[in-house]
Amino acid sequence: MDVVLRPISDRFFHEHLLPFFQRAMGDAPGALESLQEQLGDGQARMLCERMLSTALPGGVGSVDADPWADLVDRLVFLHWTEGPAGWEVGDAEAGYADGWDEALHRP
């Protein structure tokens, strides 16, 4: 198993991502609408709109799987910064990737 270590925005993660994922388990359309209002990133907003256009009431099973996976990848694996229009993808931050043992057990 590989491990990737990189900086994240704690504020974005705790104030926006965790509540979004928690709400999405039972109310994916509501979670997407709420998240969309907080984002200034055009790609993420487009993915939210795409899912909202076909979503049924319910949890994450009520939205299309492909755009959901794309949105989750974008939210989790990119560096987010707060901008004037909302949360946006910022400049890439340096990270480190290696095998589990090597990454976490280096002297």
For all residues of the chain together, what is the average pLDDT? Answer: 88
With H, G, I as helix, E, B as strand and everything else as coil, classify residue 3.
strand
Look up residue 98 and give its two tokens. Answer: 């290696």
Tens of pLDDT, residue by residue over 24-35, are: 999 999 999 999
Token duo for residue 76: 């989790």
In whole angstroms, how far apart are CA 58 and each of 12, 24, 87, 94, 103?
Answer: 25, 8, 26, 38, 39
Q: Which domain holds residue 74?
A: 2-104
Integer Cα distance of 4 and 14 in angstroms: 19
pTM value? 0.80
Q: How confident is the model at residue 49 (pLDDT cuts 50, 70, 90)?
A: very high
Number of independent structural domains in the chain = 1
